[in-house]
Every structure is written in C-alpha cells, then in structure tokens.
Amino acid sequence: MAIERLPIPTDPYVQTQFIMCRVHFAFETAFYNTLKLLEKPPYNDLDNFLGYCEAWCTTLIGHHDSEETVMFPYLQRKLDFADELAQHKKMHDAFDAFLSRIALAKKDHHAFDPKGLIQILKDAEDNLMTHLRQEIEDLAPERLKVFTCEEISEMLERTEKYAMKHSDPVIGLPFVRSHTPPEYKSFPPLPWVMERLLLPLLAMRHSGYWKYSPYSVT
C-alpha cells in the first residue's frame, strides 16, 4: 500500500520552518545511524561505509555554509542568530577531526578507528542536537513575521540557489532523500523526470553508501 506524501506548505513563513525540520531530521537521523553502525562497523565493506560517514558530515557542513553565507545574514537584519553561528563554530572543529580520520581510513584501512570516531561524535552530540532543535524553534512563523512574506520568499530562493550551486548532487540529494521517511518524500520538491529518471541515476553513482541509510532514495 502506497504511503500518502504530506504536502510541502506554501506559506513562506511556515515553509521555512518545515524545510528546516526536514533537513535537520535527516542530519539527526544520520548522526545516530552512524553512531550505531560504528559500534559494529562493516569491515568487509569499509570503503562504502566510510563514504557514507563522509557523506553525512560533508552534507551537514555544506548546509551550514549556505546558512552562514545567505540565510543568517539575511535574517540578521531584523533577528538575532548569533547563538546559531556560535554553535556552528563550536561543532565544526569536531567535524573537521571526524573527516580527517575518515580520510586517513580511506587511504589506509588499518587507520580506521571506530572507537575514536564514536568519541568525536559523542563529544559533539549535545551541541549538535541543541543546535538542530533550537534553530527550528527560532524559525517559527510568528518570529519570522518581522519580515514581509515577499522577503522570506526571497531569502528561501537565494538560499536554495546557493545550496544547489555549491552542493554535489550525487551526494547531497541522495543523502537527504535516504534519510527522509516515506510520508515526507514530497521534500525536497522534484519534477517527475528528476524523481523518476534522474534521481535513481544520481544515486547509482554511490549506491554502496546509501545501503547504510535508513530509508530508500526514491
């Protein structure tokens, strides 16, 4: 039985928070999935598993980049997002360390240190989860109404364009889709041709990564 997809809100104030909820859900899901997998890592498929670990971390960093470059400066004109920026800076040292260890392990499987990777994630957990949840609250529709509806639409459009220009489609899109439950697969919105034809081709490039995701790409 097909699961009915929940529609994406059309009101820009509500849509902003909705989008952030879906993206942050993907990152939180991937974080805990990675932690669980690191407890009993697939040593017989380490290249794909390391690719999966790298994918969620680089996608998160790219998401933060689009916020820091476009979204936060736009919103800072009338709202205070200093806490979010501080949280970004605090957690990025941990993610840089995580990616450095992943890079070493990709070059030499003997350097793979799951316990060390778990510790890095555990140390970053409180700050990351506080950030993911606080940012959603701070994008509440009633708070955003210091801007006009047109201004919020413009901010969303600018952020989306920046993210699309600076992200790797064979990583970012399959990552988000494979960490999005079926009822929310309306997000991100995709034309029929992209969803049915191009998305499976994009996902095929690193299909070994996405078998570790909790949901299917399509």
Whether 179 contacts 26, CB under 8 Å: yes
Give the CA distances from residue 102 to residues 13, 14, 121, in Å, rounded to whole numbers and listed in that order: 38, 37, 13
Q: How many CB atoms lie under 10 A from the CB of residue 148?
A: 10
- Four-residue CA torsion sign, 63, 64, 66, 67: positive
Q: What is the pLDDT along the chain (218 residues), one digit of tens a residue?
A: 568 899 999 999 999 999 999 999 999 999 999 999 999 999 999 999 999 999 999 999 999 999 999 999 999 999 999 999 989 988 889 999 999 999 999 999 999 999 999 999 999 999 999 999 999 999 999 999 999 999 999 999 999 999 989 989 899 999 999 999 999 999 888 888 888 888 888 899 999 999 999 999 98
Tokens of 59: 């996608």
**For residue 30, what are the contacts with CB-CB under 8 A and spacing of at least 6?**
56, 175, 179, 213
